[in-house]
Amino acid sequence: MHSFYSYDTGFHIRDCALVRLSTGVRVQTLREFRDALERVPDGSIYHHFWGRFLQPQFDEPEYNNDFAAWAYRCLHEKALAERLSVIDPTWFEDIEGLRRELLERIEDYLFEKESVIWARTDEQFYFVQSQLVVLDTGKCMVHPRELVTNLPEISIGSVFYHFIDARRRTEGKTDDFSMWLEAFGPEYRALSEAFKSTDPYFSSLKAIRAKLAQECDNFFMDR
Amino acid sequence: MDLLERYSDVAGREVVDHLRQLSAELRGMKVVHVNSTREGGGVAELLAKMVPMMNALGIHATWEVIEGTSAFFECTKGFHNAIQGNTVVLPEESYQEYLRINSMNAEKLEDKLRDADFVFIHDPQPAALLKNIVDRKGKWIWRCHIDCSRPYRPVWKFLRRIVSDYDASIFSTAEFVQPLPHPQYIIAPSIDPLSEKNMELSWGEVEGVRKRFDLHPDMPIILQVSRYDRFKDPVGVIAAYRIAREIVPMQLVLAGGGASDDPEGEVVLQEVKKAAAGDPNIRVLVLPPDAHRTINALQRAADIVLQKSIKEGFGLTVTEAMWKSKPVIGGDTGGIRLQVIDHYTGFRVQSPEGAALRIRYLLFNHGKRVEMGRQAKRFVRENFLLTRHLREYLALMIAVFHGFEDRIDLTRN
C-alpha cells in the first residue's frame, strides 16, 4: 500500500501540475502514425490517454484518447476511431503492453484498407509528452467521512492525481480513494465500488469531482 | 485586497491555493523576464501581470526591456514575419545590427542576468543576449510567442543557432515547435481577468464608448481588435462585412494600435483605410497602447467578434472576447484552433465568404449567439486565465530545475 494512504496514517491529499513537452514527432498518414507509435517515449502514450485530462478540452470528449480522436476528426476513419477508443489502458501491465495493443489494432486496420489514409497538412498528429510535478497539500483525512467535506474542495490537480493518475500507479489499476476505503473493511465497500465504477474517460475533472462528491453525500446521508 | 486574493475571487480559491503550493519550491529564487517593449502587444500585457503575480508568490521576479534602434526593430519585425512564414530577405547589416543591439543591452543587464536563477527571454528580439552572458548561473528559457510552424528557412537558420544554446524553449502550441537540441515545452498564453482590458465594466461606460465613436445604438456591431498587420487580415474582414451587409444591416469596427516594435503597421493601416473608404458604417480606429478600457468596452458592446487571422500566434484578442461572452469567428489557424471550438464557442473560417456566412448566421440566431458566448466564457475560465498560465510556468521551472524527469515528486523531499 502507498505510504500516503493507509488505515493507520490516513489519506494524505496530494496535488499535481502538468507541463507538456513536444516529442518532435508528427505524422500525417496512418502508416507514419503506426511507425511513430513504435518509437515514441512511454510518456507520450501515457499523455495521450491520461495527461490530456489536464489540458484544455471542451466538455465531454467523444473518444477516450487522443489517438482515436485524431483518427475520427482528421483521418475521417470512424471505424478505426471506434476500435482505438475501446482500449482501456488499465488492461495492461505497463505502457509497453498498451503500445503493442495500439500497434496491433492499427496494423489490422491497415491490412483491411488498401488505400493510403492521410490527414491534411494542417491536421497532423503531434506526439506530446508531459512532466508531472507532485505536491503535498498538507491535508490529511483520517476517516472516510472526511471525504464529504474534502472532496468538493480538492483541486482539479488532486482529482487528476488520485483518480486518474492512480490507475498507472496502483496495483489494482484503480483510484486512490477506493483503495483507501477498502482498508476500512466491508463497511465502506459500497462507496469504494461506486468510485470504481465511475468512468473516468468521458467527462472533465470538475465533473468527476462533482460525481464523486455526490456518491459520498449519498453514502453518508443516512449514516 | 491582496493580489492573490483578488484572483481567487475570479478564478477560484483552489486555483490560487494550488499556485501557493507549487511556488513554495521556488520561493526566494530570482527570475528575470526580458522582452522588447513595455507597452503594446500581448507579451507586454502578459508580463505586466505575470511579474507581480510571481512576486506575490514569494519569487523575486523582475521585467527588463531591451532598447534598440529603428534599424534593429525593422530587423526584428522581419524576423517576426519570417518566423510566421513570409519570405523576408534581410541584408547582412540587419543581422549585424541585431547582434550589436543585443550585445549593447547585455552589457547593461549583465549583472541581473548572470545572477538570475531563471531567465525568460520573450521572442526573437532579445534572444542573442544569451551569447553575451558567458558565466550564466541559472537556467535560460526562450519563450516564442509567434507561430513558428513553418518559418522562412534562411532567417530561421540564423535564429536557430542563437536559441539552440538555451536550456529549454516554450512554444504556444505543438504545431509551432521547431526541432531544437533542448526540451521544448508547450504552454498556451492567457488573459488577465482583472486587467483593465478584461474587468467588468458598467453599462454606462460601455454606452459612453459607443457614443464616443458614434456607433448606431440599434445596429449590430461586428468587431475585430488587432494590430494593423497583414497576418490579421483586416482587409479580409472588410470584405466579409461587405458580403454580409448585402443582407443584414450592421456596422464594423476595426480597432487597433501600433506597438513600438512594429514599423509596418502604418502601411497596413493605410491599406485598411483605403478599403473602408466611403462606408459610413465602418470605423477604423487607431487607439493608443493604453486604451485598454476602451477596447474592453468595444468588446462588450459588440455582438460578434472576429479574428480573421491568416497566421496567428495564439490570438489573445480571441480569449478576451470569449471572456466577455462573445462568440468569435476566427481564422482557422494557430492558437485560434485551441480556443474557437467550431459550433461551440464560435466558428472557424478560411475565407471572407465563410466569415460572412457565420456573421449572418449568428445575427439571425440570437439564442445561439448567447449560448455560444456562455460556453466561450466558461471555456476561458477553465483554461486560459493568467492563473493557469502561471501554474504552467511554475511547473516548468520546477521541472527544469529537477532535470526533465517524467515525474517530479516533491512530497519525497
Please write the tens of the pLDDT for every residue from A84-122: 999 998 889 899 999 999 999 999 999 999 899 999 887
Region A13-29 average pLDDT: 95
Domain annotation covers residue B197: no
Structure-block grid coordinates of residue B396 = 516548468
B374 with B389, same domain: the answer is no
Q: Which of A111, A88, A142 is nearest to A31 (CA)?
A: A111
Structure-block grid coordinates of residue A83 = 476500435
The pLDDT of residue A203: 80
Is the dihedral angle over the CA atoms B12, B15, B18, B23 positive or is it negative? negative
B308 with B399, same domain: the answer is no
The pLDDT of residue B313: 74
Tell me how far apart the alpha carbons of residues B320 and B302 are, in angstroms, rounded to a whole number: 12
Domain annotation covers residue B196: no
* Residues B184, A56: C-beta atoms closer than 8 Å: no
Contact A206/B at CB under 8 A: yes
Contact A134/B at CB under 8 A: yes
Closest residue on chain B to A133 (Cα)? B408
Residues of chain B with pLDDT under 50: none
- A87 φψ region: left (φ > 0), alpha (ψ -120 to 50), beta (else): beta
B281 with B335, same domain: the answer is yes
Tell me how far apart the alpha carbons of residues A63 and B156 are, in angstroms, rounded to a whole number: 37
B21 with B60, same domain: the answer is yes
B268 with B308, same domain: the answer is yes
Q: Measured between CB atoms, which of A130, A132, A157 is closest to B18? A: A157
B371 with B246, same domain: the answer is yes
Phi, psi of A86 (to 5 degrees): -85, -5
Domain ranges of chain A: 5-15+136-220, 17-129
The pLDDT of residue B1: 66
Tell me how far apart the alpha carbons of residues A51 and A48 are, in angstroms, rounded to a whole number: 6
Domain annotation covers residue B327: yes
B263 with B342, same domain: the answer is yes
Percent of chain A with pLDDT over 90: 72
Residues 6+ apart with CB under 8 A from B183: A21, B168, B169, B400, B404
Structure-block grid coordinates of residue B2 = 491582496
Tell me how far apart the alpha carbons of residues B397 and B404 are, in angstroms, rounded to a whole number: 10
The pLDDT of residue B262: 65
B329 with B364, same domain: the answer is yes
The boundaries of the domain holding residue B226 are 203-383
CATH of the domain at B269: 3.40.50.2000
Q: What is the ipTM of this complex?
A: 0.91
The pLDDT of residue A1: 47
| Mean pLDDT rounded to a whole number for chain A | 91
Tell me how far apart the alpha carbons of residues B110 and B103 are, in angstroms, rounded to a whole number: 10
pTM: 0.88
Contact A56/B at CB under 8 A: yes
Q: Which of B74, B64, B75, B71 is nearest to B32 (CA)?
A: B64
- Element at B62 (helix H, strand E): strand B60-65
Within a 10 A sphere around the Cβ of A141, how many other Cβ atoms?
A: 18
DSSP helix/strand/coil, A126: strand
B180 with B321, same domain: the answer is no
The pLDDT of residue A2: 55
Contact B413/A at CB under 8 A: no
Is the dihedral angle over the CA atoms A201, A203, A204, A206 positive or is it negative? negative
B62 with B173, same domain: the answer is yes
Q: Measured between CB atoms, which of A24, A43, A137 is closest to B21? A: A137
* Residues A56, B406: C-beta atoms closer than 8 Å: no
Percent of chain A with pLDDT over 70: 94
B394 with B362, same domain: the answer is no
Contact B364/A at CB under 8 A: no
The pLDDT of residue B290: 86
Is the dihedral angle over the CA atoms A56, B61, B197, B229 positive or is it negative? negative
Number of domains in chain B: 2
B176 with B274, same domain: the answer is no
Structure-block grid coordinates of residue A82 = 471506434
Region A183-210 average pLDDT: 91
Tell me how far apart the alpha carbons of residues A94 and A81 are, in angstroms, rounded to a whole number: 22
Min mean pLDDT across A6-10, A124-128, A147-151, B368-372 is at A6-10
